[in-house]
Chain A
């Protein structure tokens, strides 16, 4: 009696598939490359308390003297806890943190130059001062990147913009940013089509001699973007745009929401305060 088993297996797969297809919309545009949809406390928080929390946390990290190693261990545990609460896979979190690699090179070179005390590490003679500075850059930079990734992975681009608006980013800037998010895919697709067109004519860019072709494409992209901007503007005017976009006033946030969001920086500041007391 194998058949029913196979049949039921297929059935489960099919229902699962249907379930996947009927889930609510999960935005995954170019503007939201980092966002991962999950149902978590971190995701459900409004954007502006989250942004404030992330900034305060980063300020605390940056303000801590680099020789207080245990503080950084505490900060690290805190931000990873938040990432786990947000159901962000740790592998994703750390792969994305690789974005700061260019500055890692800067830091790696540092112990080789400098003055003062010399420490021998394996075959190398390293300057202690440079070693400490390099560790500082790496540790603080990594904590900053982990925080920014946790924020952007748990907040959609649209929410982030609304949050920045609440935090008094000038209206014109918010509008520019929202146009950018709305059209980034359109313009990217435009660029992709131009690339396909170039390649289907047998073009491959191999060196500087091909820059003129690519720059002409960039120029054409500018003209098309600009003209699109004009069309969008006229369309907006014909719908009654006067320079401000309508938006409803969101309800006031309760104290518990603020407290949940600010738990991260409050814990970090507590750690800093305790170590300030110890190091006095």
Chain B
């Protein structure tokens, strides 16, 4: 769900645009360090992947279907820096080319989905990975919990913006309840799809998964 123009007032939008700009600058530096000059094509293709996979419909029941949001998935697959950049580009392009999400609200949307969703999800992923034993299935479980948490975290970001600068009359606690409630449900779907997708990639190209630091298999020299 993208926030349209006029829903949140301009000062709040400006604050979050500045916060997003800071997070993007940090991710630009991090992505350059992590991927060198490879960062542009790889983050670009990640953006395309996220854009495409959001159009893949997962049927739920009785004709309804949902789709992946992809913040946590991108963070686990390519790392949080490239994921933030890829999701930001997707949101900016959706705003400017598809009129999806208000142009004055881009900072708000980027903050919720590309910053909170990605970094919140990645923090949860790191935490869960630390607790679980170091094997491949732990990565999928950690990705699932990251996916589950990343969606309500983004929703909480929205509620925070709402409490600061909304022109609406719903009480903040009511919005918090409704948003977090529905987004936990969406998060369960996100968790299942994220875990299944990560385990599919782990099965064939585990070396591509950023969150899988495969330190155990070093080069073996046999005589």
List A residues at the B interface (Cβ < 8 Å).
31-34, 51, 54-55, 58-59, 61-63, 66, 96-97, 99-100, 102-103, 106-107, 110, 113-114, 127, 129-130, 133-134, 136-137, 139-141, 143-145, 147-149, 151-152, 157, 160, 164, 169-170, 172-173, 175-184, 186-188, 190-191, 205-208, 210-212, 214-223, 225-226, 228-230, 232-233, 236, 241-243
Q: Which residues of A contact B100 (CB under 8 A)?
A: 99
Tell me if B42 and A222 are in contact (CB < 8 A).
no
Tell me if B9 and A62 are in contact (CB < 8 A).
yes
Tell me if B49 and A221 are in contact (CB < 8 A).
yes
Per-position binary interface string of chain B over residues 30-61, scored 1 when its CB falls under 8 Å from any chain A CB and 0 otherwise: 01100001111111111111011101111111
Among A106, A144, A220, A221, which residue has the most Cβ atoms of chain B within 10 A?
Answer: A144
Tell me if B58 and A179 are in contact (CB < 8 A).
no
Given A62-B104, A103-B7: A219 touches B49 (CB 8 Å cut-off): no
B71 at the interface (CB under 8 A from A): no
Given A58-B5, A62-B5, A210-B59: A172 touches B39 (CB 8 Å cut-off): yes
Q: How far is the CB of B212 from chain A (nearest CB, A)?
A: 13
Q: How far is the CB of A176 from chain B (nearest CB, A)?
A: 5
Q: Which residues of A contact B48 (CB under 8 A)?
A: 179-180, 183-184, 186-187, 225
B102 at the interface (CB under 8 A from A): yes
In the bound assembly, the distance between CA atoms of A133 and B165 in angstroms comes to 13
The one of B57, B102, B168 in contact with A58, judged by C-beta atoms closer than 8 angstroms, is B102
Q: Which residues of B contact A157 (CB under 8 A)?
A: 93, 97
In the bound assembly, the distance between CA atoms of A143 and B100 in angstroms comes to 13
Tell me if B97 and A143 are in contact (CB < 8 A).
no
B10 at the interface (CB under 8 A from A): yes
The one of B42, B58, B169 in contact with A214, judged by C-beta atoms closer than 8 angstroms, is B58
Ordered by A's residue number, 29 sampled pairs between the chains whose C-beta atoms are within 8 Å are: A58-B104, A61-B6, A62-B10, A103-B7, A113-B174, A129-B169, A133-B167, A134-B168, A140-B4, A141-B6, A143-B6, A144-B6, A172-B40, A173-B24, A176-B43, A177-B93, A179-B43, A179-B45, A186-B48, A208-B60, A211-B193, A211-B196, A214-B56, A215-B193, A216-B196, A222-B201, A229-B45, A230-B42, A233-B41
Per-position binary interface string of chain B over residues 49-89, scored 1 when its CB falls under 8 Å from any chain A CB and 0 otherwise: 10111011111110000001000000001100000011011
Q: A140-B4, A191-B53, A225-B46 are in contact. List 13 more A-B contacts (CB 8 A).
A: A55-B104, A62-B5, A107-B168, A133-B168, A145-B4, A148-B96, A176-B86, A180-B44, A184-B51, A215-B196, A215-B197, A222-B77, A223-B205
Q: Which residues of A contact B99 (CB under 8 A)?
A: 34, 96-97, 99, 145, 148-149, 152
Tell me if B98 and A34 are in contact (CB < 8 A).
yes
> From A127, which residue of chain B is reached at the shortest CB distance?
B169
Q: Which residues of B contact A214 (CB under 8 A)?
A: 56, 58, 193
Which of chain B's residues 177-223 have a Cβ closer than 8 Å to chain A? 192-193, 196-201, 203-205, 208
Among B55, B86, B96, B102, which residue has the most Cβ atoms of chain A within 10 A?
Answer: B96
Q: Which residues of A contact B92 (CB under 8 A)?
A: 164, 169, 173, 177
In the bound assembly, the distance between CA atoms of A51 and B56 in angstroms comes to 31
Q: Which residues of B contact A100 (CB under 8 A)?
A: 4
Q: Which residues of B contact A206 (CB under 8 A)?
A: 59
Tell me if B6 and A172 are in contact (CB < 8 A).
no
Which 8 pairs between the two chains have the least Cβ-Cβ distance?
A: A140-B6, A179-B44, A144-B5, A219-B200, A215-B196, A229-B45, A148-B99, A141-B4
Tell me if B208 and A223 are in contact (CB < 8 A).
yes
Tell me if A179 and B40 are in contact (CB < 8 A).
yes
Given A143-B5, A144-B104: A232 touches B41 (CB 8 Å cut-off): yes
Q: Which residues of A contact B5 (CB under 8 A)?
A: 58, 61-62, 140-141, 143-145
B128 at the interface (CB under 8 A from A): no
Tell me if B169 and A130 are in contact (CB < 8 A).
yes
Tell me if B200 and A215 are in contact (CB < 8 A).
yes
Given A148-B96, A183-B44: A137 touches B31 (CB 8 Å cut-off): no
Q: How far is the CB of A109 from chain B (nearest CB, A)?
A: 8
Given A176-B43, A233-B38: A187 touches B49 (CB 8 Å cut-off): yes
In the bound assembly, the distance between CA atoms of A203 and B86 in angstroms comes to 31
Q: Which residues of B contact A230 (CB under 8 A)?
A: 38, 41-42
Q: Which residues of B contact A32 (CB under 8 A)?
A: 97
Tell me if A218 and B56 are in contact (CB < 8 A).
yes
In the bound assembly, the distance between CA atoms of A188 and B68 in angstroms comes to 16
B95 at the interface (CB under 8 A from A): yes
In the bound assembly, the distance between CA atoms of A51 and B45 in angstroms comes to 26
In the bound assembly, the distance between CA atoms of A77 and B38 in angstroms comes to 48
Q: How far is the CB of B82 from chain A (nearest CB, A)?
A: 9
